Amino acid sequence: MTILAVRLVGDPVLRTPADAVTRFDDTLAKLAADMHETMEEVAGVGLAGPQVGVSLRVFTYHVGEERGTVCNPVVEVLGGELDHGSEGCLSVPGLGFPLDRPARVRVTGQDITGAPLVLEGEGLLARCFQHETDHLGGTLYIDKLAGEERKRAWRAIREEGFEANAQSVLQDRAGAVGSAFGGASFGGSAFSQGWAK
């Protein structure tokens, strides 16, 4: 398996709506395996195809005991409750912001063999499903922030040195796998106040 480079905000692939997965072949299986390895390496809880430069509607996730790969996901909101958590993104490393999301969702799609898949999640898992599916449409979570937080996010991204800092954050995370992101430990650095996908 291969660790893939994580694309950062500003890369056009993150803004391009991804294509549907139509070939459930060995190439897709290898991509999914590499995405899982990459996600674990940088201690993320989710990773979408465009984040590794592949404009296909596929994402991987690993939230607590739940892990897997979803192709061609469609998210349906269940109920009206909101989850008031914080969020981060491996493509916008070093930042985290509070963002309300629907607390429960159902995802329908396909697994890597093309078989139909239906998943339900709540809390972090629901947040992850929404965040990753947003990536496949070219949307980043920072697009969903409002007011001052949105301004703060973009100011930070435009600051000189953001990219160099982002790379070092990813490297630090890669060095901290297995300790810094054990599922419950979201405290600590600005980045891990939320979680990263």
Closest by CA to 105, choosing from 146, 140, 70, is 70
- Name the CA dihedral angle for 126, 127, 132, 138, rounded to a multiple of 10 degrees: 130
User: Rounded to whole angstroms, how far apart are CA atoms 103 and 44?
Assistant: 20
What is the torsional sign of CA 187, 161, 151, 77?
Answer: negative
Q: Is 120 a catalytic residue?
A: no
Contact between 57 and 136 (Cβ < 8 Å): yes
| 127 interacts with Zn ion by CB under 5 A | no
From the candidates 37, 76, 132, 148, which is the catalytic residue?
132
> Which residue, 114 or 167, has its beta carbon nearer to Zn ion?
167
Shortest distance (Å) from residue 82 CB to Zn ion? 20
Name the one range near Zn ion by CB under 5 A: 14-22, 89-97, 168-176, 187-195.
89-97
Minimal distance, residue 185 CB to Zn ion, in Å: 19
Closest residue to Zn ion using C-beta atoms: 89
Q: Enumerate the H helices of 159-197 as residue ranges.
A: 162-175
- Applying CB under 5 A, among 89, 166, 169, 170 the residue interacting with Zn ion is 89
Alpha carbon distance 109, 60 (integer Å): 13
To Zn ion, the closest distance from the beta carbon of 58 in angstroms equals: 14
Residue 68 DSSP SS3? strand
Closer residue to Zn ion in complex, CB, 28/90: 90
In the list 57, 101, 173, 197, the residue contacting Zn ion (rule: CB under 5 A) is 197
The residues that touch Zn ion, with contacts defined as CB under 5 A, are 89, 197
The residues annotated with a catalytic role in the active site are 132
